[in-house]
Amino acid sequence: MTAAPPDALRPSAAQLGLIGANFLMWSGFFAVIPLVTVHFSGSPAQGGLGWPAATVGVILGLRQLTQQGLTVFGGAWADHLGPKPLILAGCLLRTLGFAWMGFATTPGVLLAAAVLAGVGGGLFDAPKNAAITAVTRPEQRARMFSLTSISGNLGMVGGPLIGAALLALGFRTAAFAAASVYLLAAGVMAATLPHLRPERAPARGLAGLARAAADVPFRRFTLVLIGYFVLSTQINVAITLKAISLAGPHATGPLYGLSAGLAVVLQYPLLRAVERHLPLRAALVGAVVLVGVSLGLMALATTFPALLACVALYSLGTMLVYPAQQTLTARFAPPASIGSYFGFSAISLGAGGALGSALGGVLVDAGARIGVPALPWLTLAVIGGVTALGLRWALRGLDRPDDVEATGAAPIGEGS
């Protein structure tokens, strides 16, 4: 029996505003974050400041940890205040944080600016998804999330290209441009998004988070996924550093363009093709293996085209992990606690992203110091293998069917 097609989605002003703001957020993020590595760790001969890669990696990791840590609570706060005030406040703080980065000349100032930007992201991340849910009918939410996700991937394609072009005018100019994009996104949200204050705020806003934390199988799944996010973060650290070493500071444009472009074109059809042949859990494990193998192969890449070939393989793996992770998270969650389970799942991205940002820089520095440039890539490949085995263990006994539910194709990696 063929299901009846859902009604056509005719986006409202609020929905169009959310799609547009999401595009702006991802564009602004990827216009400046790759340049942080280029500007602060790059060779002084190429206009960089020559800081150790480990220093910049730790700072980026703390920014991500700040953002994802607050994301855990952002959904609960939106239940009490409504999503709009948090989205607007988050965009304004992100604007200030990115602008401040343009004035950073010491690690302490860069850290403060990065943490402020992370606080902004933590405020708008979960409320943005809550707003999408609130302004969209249940039968059309999957398609609305797909549209916002595609807009994010398009922003991830364009952002690095804009940032690379602005880098010729100086890092401060690029940082100011990215900051102004978030100010524009705040204006779009202020004009189009209604105030969606809940009619009745929950009496115990964090009770759902406590329930998710006490769910041993789900907690195990979330913690094992930290290993995967250590790998996915390397697009911002170790892979970017290798691209710069092979092709110069303007390599970030093609690098991110290829990664996000593949996601725009292939993520959804690839997921649909894989689900016809593999159970969802097997697809998730296989995708993590593919990410680990592609990182290991980067040890052999001695030219920029060879590195891009490895990045293409890496992207095929990462674009499968997100929808699989989201679908399995929904299967773990009781109907009354879905939001809290998704909030708790942000711990894996926050902890893995922070650890991965720091570890990537440390491994690159250590490999250069001891004369073993393959060290970071071999280490990351091992982490991929261990994580895949951990996922097989963590998902034992998950007794829900292995069909892939309707999921949006979300931007790969970490963003906005």
Q: 109-151 pLDDT, tens per residue?
A: 999 999 999 999 988 887 787 787 778 776 666 567 667 777 8
Q: Is 183 helix (H, G, I), strand (E, B) or coil?
A: helix
Residues 249-266: tens digit of each pLDDT: 778 778 877 887 887 788
Share above pLDDT 90 across residues of the chain, in percent, rounded to a whole number: 36
**68 compared with 308, residue with greater pLDDT:** 308
Predicted local distance difference test score (pLDDT) of residue 312 = 95
CB 166 within 8 A of CB 259: no
pLDDT at 403: 43
Give me the pLDDT at residue 404, please: 41
Question: In this predicted structure, what is the pLDDT of residue 198?
Answer: 58
Inter-helix orientation angle 207-214/216-232, to 10°: 90
Distance between CA 328 and CA 210 in Å, rounded?
Answer: 19
354-390, pLDDT tens digit by residue? Answer: 788 889 989 998 999 999 999 999 999 999 999 999 9
Three-state SS sequence of 48-113: CCCCCHHHHHHHHHHHHHHHHHHHHHHHHHHHHHCHHHHHHHHHHHHHHHHHHHCCCCCHHHHHHH
Tell how many helices (H) and how many strands (E) occur in the chain.
Answer: 14, 0
Is residue 166 within 8 A of residue 98, CB to CB? The reply is no
Domains identified in the chain and CATH numbers: 13-200 (1.20.1250.20), 209-399 (1.20.1250.20)
Which of residues 107 and 326 earns the better pLDDT score? 107
pLDDT at 410 over 70: no
With CA atoms as reference, report the closest residue to 29 among 310, 411, 400: 411
Query: Which two three-digit tokens encode residue 172?
Result: 């401060």
Q: Return the higher-pLDDT residue of 186 and 201.
A: 186
> Contact, 36 vs 305, CB < 8 A?
no
pTM over 0.85: no
